[in-house]
Structures are given as C-alpha cells and as structure tokens.
Amino acid sequence: MRCAQCDKEYPSKYYFKTETLCLDCYNRMDSEARKQAIRRDLMKHPMTSTTFTIEGYRITRQLGVVRGITVRSRSIFGTIGGALQTLVGGNIPLFTELCEKTREEAFEIMAEHAEQIGANAIVGVRYDTTELMDGVTEVLCYGTAVMVEPLA
C-alpha cells in the first residue's frame, strides 16, 4: 500500500500510522497536523459507509444531524469545454469532475460542523443533488454526527 503523503510504497499496513499515512510522515508532523490527519481518516471511514454503524467502533453518543451545502454554477469556460467533450461522446469528464469537487466541498463543510459539536464520526451519510436552474447545481450532504470509541 502507498502513503498518501510521500507516495512511497510499503509492503503492509504495519508501516502505517493511519489509513493513509506512513509512520515516517506521521513522525515528521507537528501535533496539530497529526490531529488533523487522524481526524481526516476517521471522517473518511463513515463517509464511504452509508450505514448507521461503523465496523470496529461503538457509538457512544448521538449528536444530531449535520449537513453541508454547496451551490455551483458552471463557468462559461466549463460549459464550452463540457459541450466540446460532449461531441466526443460518452462520459463528460469536465462535468464529472465538477460534481466530484462540489460533493467533496459539501462533505468538508458537514465534517467541520460535526467536529464543532464534538463528533468524531458521521454515520448514515447521504448526498442530495438539485438542479436549481440551468447550470446551477446545489449539493447537499448530510448525516448523523456521533461519538464513537473503538470496541475493546
């Protein structure tokens, strides 16, 4: 597996401090960066799961629904680029990328909100996308903020 920071390839999870960071990189970080890295990994876990449980953890407190909203309008450049790519056919990478970015932002806002109220995980994460008007899209990301602790 590969470290997200230094891009070095390691033979096993044994060389890793978190899901994505190798021990070397982790040891080089200051305490604030370490906290953020661990939080990012913890947040990533429930993000990929839309269920209301997190494997290996027990939910100790429910802190309520948290959400993040982003509104994105396609730039002129993006629209022209996208239209040109449509001519090529198939999947439209420029639009796909725009959607991904917008989703990520909505998720980040939700995660910040969860952290502010003392959560260390979010379960039941959902995305909702609405086309507000031509070329203007709203992405809503929401879930239930919880406190979890590792199962003994």
If binding means CB under 5 A, how many residues of this protein chain bind Zn ion? 5
Residue nearer to Zn ion on the CB measure, 8 or 101: 8
Contact call for residue 37 and Zn ion (CB under 5 A): no
Segment interacting with Zn ion, rule: CB under 5 A, options 6-14, 38-46, 73-81, 91-99: 6-14
- The stretch near Zn ion (CB under 5 A) out of 17-25, 58-66, 69-77, 142-150 is 17-25
Which residue lies nearer to Zn ion by CB, 18 or 102? 18
Instruction: Report the distance separating Cα 85 and Cα 79, nearest Å.
Output: 10
Between residues 25 and 114, which has the closer beta carbon with respect to Zn ion? 25
Work out the angle between the directed axes of helices 93-116 and 31-48 (0-180°, nearest 10): 120
Q: Is 19 helix (H, G, I), strand (E, B) or coil?
A: coil
CA distance 33 to 42: 14
Query: DSSP for 54-90?
Result: -TTEEEEEEEEEEEEEEEEE--HHHHHHHHHHHHH-S
Options 16, 17, 18, 22; binder of Zn ion; rule CB under 5 A: 22
Provide the binding-site residues for Zn ion, judged by CB under 5 A: 3, 5-6, 22, 25
